Amino acid sequence: MAITYELVKTVTAQLYDRSLRGIPEDTKAALQRADAAESNETARHTLRIMLRSADAAQRSSQFICSDAGVPVFFVRVGTQAQFSGNVRQAIADGFD
């Protein structure tokens, strides 16, 4: 069975949304360690803002940042995968 344009578009949209609303626990832990180790007060303040933003986004289901930047996806495709439709366009349309 071929992987459809609609499936690629839907999954892309879901992954993008998920990436904007939370950070992985290991990333959060790394930010906390950086905050604890940082001696520069301005840098510590910035790290704390990042942590508070991540917590607020998780609690309210809002985006972590209003400027999401440019998404980059690395897609691995097996040699037996079959697609129906334009995969690149489906990924691009998943951001609309």
State pLDDT tens for residues 14-61. 998 888 888 889 999 999 999 999 999 999 999 999 999 889 888 888
Alpha-carbon distances, residue 62 vs 17, 21, 54, 88 (angstroms): 10, 6, 9, 27
- Residue 23 in contact with residue 54, Cβ under 8 Å? yes
- Per-residue model confidence (pLDDT) at position 68: 64
35 vs 89: CA distance, rounded Å: 41
pLDDT digits (tens, 9 = 90+) for 48-95: 999 998 898 888 888 887 776 777 878 888 899 999 999 999 999 998
